[in-house]
Structure 1
Amino acid sequence: SSRSTPWSSHNTPEEPAAEGDAPAASEEPPKKKHKKVEVTVVSSEPGLAKSVVQDLKEVENSMASSDRLVFDTEVAKNALEEYIYDARDKKDYQWAEFLSESDKETLGNLLNAAEDWLYSDEGEDAAKSVYQAKLGELKAIGQPAHERYREAEERPRAQQAFFDLVNKFLAMAENPEFAWLPAADLQQVKDKLTAKKEWAMNLVKKQAQQPKHAELLITAAQLQREKDEAERIAVVVFNRPKPAPKVEEPAAPAEGEAAAAAPEAEKKAEEPAKEEDAMNVD
């Protein structure tokens, strides 16, 4: 039996190319043309221009200065008001003995005038410098009185401390325990401290005779400085270390004494030997 072969297009024989048919030539794509164009690029940071920023900073600083001035003015105004009430109270109590009658009257008048001005339309909205000037006018009388009052409290303690220290070192300069120190140095301490003591005693006595509202002749601060200086003068001398006592070596015996001591030593050495011989005989 015959076997049939299935038909397939792959089995179809290729037809020979017709004569004269040449293969089509591949066409080249058209070339792209490039054109250079200059582009101006300007770089910038985001935000405001520097000139604008500078202007804003100046405005900000001006506002801050204005706020500060308002605050400082209010502080000056409050300081004046506070001093008026404080000084009026102290004028008749703490400062009473430390103000002359004329100063007391003058200060009272100034305080009343300053209070009236402060609560007027002019004083309500004045400049900082005006408040400060008003306060300075009041303090020109009140502050010295306050200093005299404070000195009356502090000066007695400063006097006592000064005289206690000076007297202590003057006593040490006379103490035989310190006789090993050079006499010239001890005398220098005594001279300088005695001079300071006489200076202080003279001014303290005069100050006690002054009215309490008079100008101060000596202050607690002066006494403290003199005390510190007196201490430095004395400490330099008295803080020196005491030298160790000299250890004396025994003197060597003279030649004649050594010769006389030799037979004596031999005699003492023979005595125990004789005693031992006597014991053996027994």
Structure 2
Amino acid sequence: VISNAKNTVQGFKRFHGRAFSDPFVEAEKSNIAYDVVQLPTGLTGIKVTYMEEERNFTTEQVTAMLLSKLKETAESVLKKPVVDCVVSVLATAFDTTLGGRKFDEVLVNHFCEEFGKKYKLDIKSKIRALLRLSQECEKLKKLMSANASDLPLSIECFMNDIDVSGTMNSDCEVFPKNHAAPFSKVLTFYRKEPFTLEAYYSSPQDLPYPDPAIAQFSVQKVTPQSDGSSSKVKVKVRVNVHGIFSVSSASLVEVHKSEENEEPMETDQNAKEEEKMQVDQEEPHAEEQQPQTPAENKVESEEMETSQAGSKDKKTDQPPQAKKAKVKTSTVDLPIESQLLWQLDREMLGLYTENEGKMIMQDKLEKERNDAKNAVEEYVYEMRDKLSGEYEKFVSEDNLGQPIKTRFQESEERPKLFEELGKQIQQYMKVISSFKNKEDQYEHLDAADMTKVEKSTNEAMEWMNSKLNLQNKQSLTADPVVKTKEIEAKIKELTSICSPIISKPKPKVEPPKEEPKHAEQNGPVDGQGDSPGPQAAEQGADTAVPSDADKKLPEMDID
């Protein structure tokens, strides 16, 4: 705002819908730092420097720029696209008399007039009494903002030791008393071609801006009748509950004539009613509360008698097969194009939309350019510090920064990868040794597969040793002989060949199947009962018959 005040636009919302000749715009010029100009349409434009050239933008374009920026900010925070935008227009936007001080003044004037009539007091002649009334009116205004009922205002010893009191509520008078609102009117015109209606405010002095025009409404596709006469066009205008005026519909009445054998001429009832109606006003319950008077009934009965008498005379004068013209009417809806005051037409709106898209793309390009410049600056500061630090051993005479950075990164990562490759080779060599020693853990592996593992491991060891020897002879300022990507590829290759073979599980050994047990039929099964139990053994010992070997010989006397 301070460094680039001429190109920083702020407080532009108050210029919406304002002509450059509006006194309000003239008064605001002294409060802004940027320039405002008159556009070809008469509106107020904003003059800034864009892409090194002076450009005039409308207030609508500047508002679109602000909304686009807010949309981008919201999407970056919410992490999702934003598709809806709600714009609120307060009642105080273009009415300078809706401020708090103006409300206080209205209340003070009201009670000055009321107390003058009621108590015969000239309040404005005493400044102290006027200030007391102003303070009480300010309190009353705050109470009315939260209460809709009648609120009292009382002041003791106001003037000449007189106590005054009054009441006030927050009801609003939108329309005059007994005014039918909302309401509609039907206007009838006779035209041969499309025409335009212009709407104006009837009391320009009550408007907050000097232009009393509301809008223009063009009624399209109006054509003459078949005989070349003017067509009857009915236009319906309406003021809604919010006090907004609009042309709601328009219709054209077409008259068709045809010859038929019927003697009496029939006329559509709708056509008859439309012929009578030139300017109709549709008010709530207006038609229902107007019954037909006896005079109207009398006129209609006379018309019917006259038509019947005339038809009887014609029947006697004309042949029975005489052809009479039959009139039919039909209603055709007409399109309406509305052009509100200071409203953008479709062509201009499309042009502004296209320009906004171009400016959004230009902003993206400018952002990418600034990001690239910042990246270069950041790279320069980073390299300047590291060239005299960790990159010092890898610096060559070439004025190139990326090769130095690459050589440093390679020297940092290469020993770790060679160490990992060596661990893999050592692991597979141990497995090969265990297999050759016919250990139980690997005896199930196939000899051909293990030969393949041994061959791959030996090749990887030879490759690693040769690359290490060559790299140790290479200078740090030269490009490395082997890169980290090659070492990673070698580790992956060795693992893919050897790991599936050595991790092959042992085949499961199935236990021998048991013979099925047959059921006991005539005695014990599977040797059951061969060895008696403890009790049976004891009983057997008591009842057992001694064998011949166990029998004792009788004692003999030896002489």
Q: CA deviation at 1:92?
A: 2.1
Corresponding residue of 1:172: 431
Residues in 1 aligned to 2:332 and 2:501: alpha-carbon distance in whole angstroms: 92
Q: CA deviation at 1:229?
A: 2.2
Q: In structure 1, how many angstroms separate the alpha carbons of the residues matched to 2:377 and 2:365?
A: 18
Please state whether the residue corresponding to 1:29 is helix, strand or coil. helix
CA distance in 2, matches of 1:202, 1:45: 87
Instruction: Render the CA deviation track for 1:131-184: whole Å, top value 9, x for unaligned.
Output: xxxxxxxxxx11111111112111111111111012101211221331221100
CA deviation after TM superposition for structure 1 residue 224, in Å: 2.1
Q: Which residue of 2 aligns with 1:191?
A: 455
- 1:102-141 alignment to 2 at 5 Å? 102-103=397-398, 107=399, 141=400
Q: Report which stretch shifted further, 201-210 or 77-86.
A: 77-86
| 229 and 49 in structure 1: CA distance in 2 versus 1, 3 angstrom threshold | farther
- Assess, with a 3 A threshold, how the Cα gap between structure 1 residues 88 and 161 changes in structure 2: closer, same or farther: same
Q: Which residue of 1 aligns with 2:390?
A: 94
Kindly indicate whether residue 514 of structure 2 is the aligned counterpart of residue 218 of structure 1: no
Instruction: Determine if contact 1:158/1:224 at 8 Å carries over to the other structure.
Output: yes
Give 3-state SS (helix, strand or coil) of 1:192's partner. helix
Equivalent position of 1:75 in the other structure: 371
How much does 1:247 deviate?
A: 5.2
SS at match of 2:302: coil
2-structure distance, mates of 1:187, 1:145? 43
Residue deviations 1:169-218, cap 9 Å, x none? 12112213312211000000111122122112211221111000111111
Counterpart of 2:408 in structure 1 is 149
Matched residues in 1 for 2:465 and 2:404: separation? 24
Q: Find the aligned partners of 2:347 and 2:455 in 1 and give their Cα distance.
A: 75
Give the number of equivalent residue pairs. Answer: 198
1:41 and 2:314 are equivalent in the alignment? no
2:504 to 235, 240, 243: 240
Map of 1:63 onto structure 2: 359
User: How far apart are residue 232 of structure 1 and its match?
Assistant: 1.8
- SS where residue 471 of structure 2 aligns? helix
Equivalent AA in structure 2 for residue 198 of structure 1: E
Contact 1:98 1:149 in 2 (8 A): yes
Distance 2:478 2:493 in 1: 28
What letter corresponds to residue 147 of structure 1 in structure 2? T
Supply the AA of the counterpart residue of 1:148: R
1:159 and 2:415 correspond: no
* 1:35 CA displacement: 8.2
Query: CA 1:156/1:45 → structure 2, altered by over 3 Å: closer, same or farther?
Result: farther
**In 2, distance between residues paired with 1:84 and 1:170?**
49
Identity of aligned residues (%): 25
Note the C-alpha offset of 1:97: 1.0
* Letter aligned with residue 395 of structure 2: L
- Could you list the runs of 5+ residues in structure 1 that have no partner in the other structure? 1-25, 108-140, 250-268, 270-274
> 1:78 Cα shift?
1.4
The letter of the residue matching 1:41 is: L
* Higher helix fraction (1 or 2): 1
Q: Structure 1 pair 30/278, CA: closer, same or farther in 2 (3 Å)?
A: closer
Residue deviations 1:247-267, cap 9 Å, x none? 579xxxxxxxxxxxxxxxxxx
Instruction: Give the corresponding residue for 1:12.
Output: none
- For the 8 Å contact 1:166–1:227, the answer to whether it is kept is no
Larger radius of gyration: 1
Distance 1:245 1:61, change over 3 A: same
Q: Distance in 1 between matches of 2:447 and 2:542?
A: 67
Equivalent residue letter for 1:190: E
Match of 1:280 among 541, 545, 556: 545
Say if 1:90 and 1:96, in contact at 8 Å, map to a contact too: yes
Q: Under a length normalisation based on structure 1, what TM-score does the superposition of the two structures give?
A: 0.60
181-190 vs 165-174, which moves further: 165-174
* Cα deviation, residue 280, structure 1: 2.0
Which stretch shifts more, 227-236 or 34-43?
Answer: 34-43
Displacement after TM superposition at 1:246 (Å): 6.1
- Does 2:230 correspond to 1:230? no
Specify the code of the residue in structure 2 equivalent to 1:60: E
Query: Relative to 1, partners in 2 of residues 1:44 and 1:196: Cα closer, same or farther, differing over 3 Å?
Result: farther
In the alignment, the residues of structure 2 paired with residue 166 and residue 174 of structure 1 have an alpha-carbon distance, to the nearest angstrom, of 12
- CA offset digits 1:220-278 (Å, max 9, x no partner): 232222212211211211222211236579xxxxxxxxxxxxxxxxxxx9xxxxx9799
Deviations 1:56-93 (CA, angstroms, capped at 9, x unpaired): 22111111011112222211111222222222222222
Once residues 504 and 338 of structure 2 are traced to their aligned partners in structure 1, the CA distance between those partners, rounded to angstroms, is: 76
- Displacement of 1:29 after TM fit? 3.0
Q: CA RMSD in A?
A: 3.5
Higher-RCO chain (CA-CA 8 Å, sequence separation at least 6): 1
Read off the aligned partner of 2:334 and give its amino acid letter. V
What is the letter of the counterpart of residue 214 of structure 1? A
Gaps of 5+ in 2: 1-297, 308-326, 514-530, 532-539, 551-559
Alignment partners' CA distance in 1, 2:302 and 2:414: 115
Alpha carbons of 1:97 and 1:35: their partners in 2 closer, same or farther (altered >3 Å)? Answer: same
CA distance in 1, matches of 2:337, 2:432: 86
Whole-angstrom distance in 1 between the partners of 2:333 and 2:511: 104
